[in-house]
Amino acid sequence: MTVSVIIPTYRKSRYLDYSLAAFTHQLDGEFEIIVVDDGGDPDNRRTVEKYRRDLPVTYLRQEHSGRSAARNRGLAAASGELALFSDDCMIADPELIRQHAAAMEKADHIASVGWKCRALTCWLRGRLLTIESDFLTLIARDPALAARLPCEDFHLIEPEQLAADYQKWLPFIDLGDDVINYAGLVARFSPTLDDFKFPWMFALTGNLCVRRRQALDVGGFCEDYKGWGMEDIDLGYRLHRDGIRFVVSAQARSHHQLHPIGQDDIARDQRLRGIELVRNFRLFYEKYRQDPAICMHWCYFRQKVNLFDANQIILDIEAGRRQDLPEEFQPSEPVRSGSASGSR
C-alpha cells in the first residue's frame, strides 16, 4: 500500500529537522511526505530542501489558517492509498510506515492508531512541560547533564546524528511512553478496543493512519476548531460513525519531541491552551450531543464520571438494561456563542 505522510508545521522548523531526519530510515519505500507550512517560520522551506535528496518530500505553504486547514491541504495533495498523519515534532521509528500498512491490510474499515513515546532533543529552560522522572532519566543516562540543565539551553543531539545512525542516537533522547496512549484502556479492552464505546478518543493525529478516501468521504478535518485540540477527535468520531474501527498498532511507534506550547512563558501558555481546549471540547459536544456517548464523554472531560463507568452506562443502554442516561448526565442546554472559556 502506498502511504502519504501528512505533516502540518507552524513555527517548529528546529523540530521538523529531526522529524525529517528520522524518516530517512524508513524500511518501507512506498511513501511520500507532504509538509504543509501553515506560515510563520521562514526556515521551514530550507529545512525541507535539506532532505530532498533523501526523501520523496513535497513542500506546500499557506497563510496561517490552522492545523485543520493545513491537514486538509495535505489530504487534497496526497496520492497514497493511506494517509498517515504525523506532526512536525514527531520522530518516526524505522518500522512506522511498514507497521501501519500491515495493520491496514487486515481489513477495509479500520484505522491504525500508532504508539506514542516522548523524546527530548532540545533543552529550553522554563519552556518545556517536563516531569520529575524526565530529569531522573536524563541524569541517570548522563550525570554531567545535572550541571547543564539549570544553566544553559542546548541540543542533546543534532538532526544530522539522527539521520546518520537512528539506532545509536535515539536512546540519548528517549523518555519512554506517552500517557496519551491510554495504555490502561488498551489493556482493558484489547488493541482492537472491543466493547469500548469511545474509540474516537484514540484518533490523535500525531500518529494515525487512515484510508485517504475514507477521510475525504467524511469531509476531512473540520476547520471550525481554532487553536489547540479536538479537530482530530472530530474526524475520528465521523469516521467511527461511518463504520471505521480503530485498532492500536503498538509496533507503529513515534517519539513526540518536548517543545514549547506557545510563544510566552510556560504558565501563560498552559492557561491559553487550556482555554482553547475547553472551547473546542464544547464545540465538539454541541455538534454531537444527541449521541449519548458524546454526553458521557463530555461528563468525563468535566470530571463528573470516570471513563470505565461512562463506558458501562453506554453498554447498558445498548443492551436494553437501561433506557436512557442517568439524570445527572443528561444533555445540558446548548452553550451560547461567546461563552466558551475556562482552563484545565
CATH code for the domain of 250:
3.90.550.10
Distance CA 110, CA 247 (A): 7
Domain that holds residue 136: 123-155
Number of domains in the chain: 3
pLDDT at position 285, please? 95
pLDDT at position 344, please? 29
Same domain for 188 and 253: yes
Model pTM greater than 0.85?
yes
Task: Point out the domain boundary residue: 240, 259, 278.
Answer: 259
Residues in the chain: 344
What's the DSSP call for residue 319?
T
Which residues contact residue 67 at a Cβ distance below 8 angstroms, ignoring those fewer than 6 apart?
8, 10, 38, 221, 231
Report the percent of the chain where pLDDT is more than 70: 96
Distance CA 99, CA 80 (A): 16
Cell of residue 315, nine digits: 453498554
Single-letter residue type at 234: D
**Contact assessment for residue 340 and residue 278, using Cβ atoms and an 8 Å cutoff:** yes
Element (H, E) at 83: strand 82-85
- Whether 167 is in a domain gets the answer no
Same domain for 129 and 77: no
Q: Which residues of 144-156 are buried (b: 16+ CB within 10 A; e: fewer)?
A: eeeeeeeeeeeeb
The pLDDT tens digits of the residues spanning 279-332 come to 999 999 999 999 999 999 999 999 999 999 999 999 999 999 999 999 889 887
Same domain for 276 and 148: no
Distance CA 295, CA 310 (A): 9
Instruction: Count CB neighbours of 176 within 10 A.
Output: 11
Phi and psi dihedrals of 211, rounded to 5?
A: -75, 130
pLDDT at 333 over 80: no
The SS3 call for residue 245 is strand
